[in-house]
Amino acid sequence: MYDYTGKRNPEQWIRTTKEIATYVGRTYKKYTAEFTEAVRTLVLDDPIELGAPDPTDVAEFEVWKLDIRDHRAKAQEYENFRAGFYTLVLGQCSEAMEDRLRSHVKFDNANLDGTSLLIIIKTLLYTFEERRMLSDAIWDVKEKYYAMKQGRNMLLQKYHEHYNALAQVLDEVGVNIADDALIEAIAAENGRADAPEEADREEAKQQALAVRFIRGTNAKHTGYITHLQNSYLDGQDHYPVTLHGAYHILQRREGNDSVGQLESDGLAFAQGGDGTPRNTSDIRCYNCQEMGHYANECPLPDNREQVQGATACTQGVEEEEGKPVQSGFSFSQSNASSFCIPKS
């Protein structure tokens, strides 16, 4: 859910928007690729207008009439999506966020246009509106990134999702992930010692992301880190050069340990007794006190030494006597009616 606290919260934006994109992809059967891409890029251009046919060519004119009909149908689907998506997005906003949106100068212009509404929400969640120095706020983001670790029982997929989200946050706020020394070294290897280019910076960034990702894994992967270091001493560089590559190497090393585990697209779920996913958005972690995951899946360092008997938090998921726990994924619709796709 999108919530507004007066502080920037890009992690919340990335997590919630990814879930919405997944929901849109599963819900819309027509123009699925276009609509899911619109959620990710916040751009949905109208279908391209068709040019006039040659009036003297009967066959071309008949084809044009069919194309016009399809074009109008597609344009109507786009309009329906914008309106329905607007309702969906507004339904994922807390009362505080909705109040802030309604006071925004661009809110009226975003009426019945879900992508325009998302642009406003992203602006609110990515903007530094905290009552502290910009340098302090940026260091807060960097400390979260460097302190992040794979929990002892955290699946590699979930660690990768959390890590990638934090990396996106650093990128969005303009923090350089790769040090200048690494950029200059890579530029020198590429024959540009005195003038690093964007390609050199991107290569350095990917290397830095890959190494930090590997170093943040749990004890299960200690052997791999040692292998990389020893191989390098022997003159063999086996370090992955991209985050994507590092993730898939670790996946292969894990084998099939994660088979049968259900993972969400950014939000934490627990397993119900019947094997179906249970929404844990109301779970509070005993380690970091944040909502949405258990303490043994927390990406932050373990601070539970003084919490006697601390285990994975189960607050808010107790079954009422005689009432089964609701399973499955659903979106909050606190501020909107049930979402449906209008028919053209």
**Position with higher pLDDT, 218 vs 277:** 218
Percent of the chain residues topping a pLDDT of 70: 74
- Structural domain count of the chain: 3
The residues, ordered by sequence, that sit 6+ positions from 14 with a Cβ below 8 Å of its Cβ are: 165, 168, 169, 266
Q: Is the pLDDT of residue 38 over 60?
A: yes
Q: Are residues 227 and 297 in the same domain?
A: no
Is the pLDDT at 314 greater than 70, yes or no?
A: no
Q: Residue 162 belongs to what domain range?
A: 156-254
> Which pLDDT tens digit goes with each residue over 153-174?
888 988 888 888 778 778 777 7
Give 189 or 14, the one with higher predicted confidence: 189
Residues 250 and 296 in one domain: no
Q: Same structural domain for residues 51 and 93?
A: yes
* Mean local confidence (pLDDT), 279-293: 69
Question: In the chain, which ranges are E strands?
Answer: 269-271, 277-279
Over residues 40-74, the pLDDT tens digits come to 888 888 888 888 888 888 888 888 889 999 999 99
Point out the least confidently predicted range of 162-171, 180-189, 320-329.
Answer: 320-329
What's the rounded Cα separation, in Å, for the pair 174 and 273?
Answer: 44
Q: Are residues 80 and 15 in the same domain?
A: yes
Q: How many CB atoms lie within 10 A of CB 110?
A: 21
Residue 260, domain member (yes or no): no
Element counts in the chain: helices (H) and strands (E) = 11, 2
Q: What is the pLDDT of residue 276?
A: 44
pTM assigned to the model: 0.51
Residues 6+ apart with CB under 8 A from 201: 178, 183
Residue range 107-158, pLDDT digits in tens: 999 888 999 999 888 878 876 555 567 777 778 778 888 888 998 888 898 8
Does residue 241 sit in the same domain as residue 284?
A: no
The mean of the pLDDT values for the chain is 77
Co-location of 93 and 160 in the same domain: no
- How many angstroms separate the CA atoms of 263 and 277, rounded? 9
Same structural domain for residues 228 and 160? yes
In-domain check, residue 133: no
**Alpha-carbon gap, residue 45 to 327, rounded angstroms:** 37
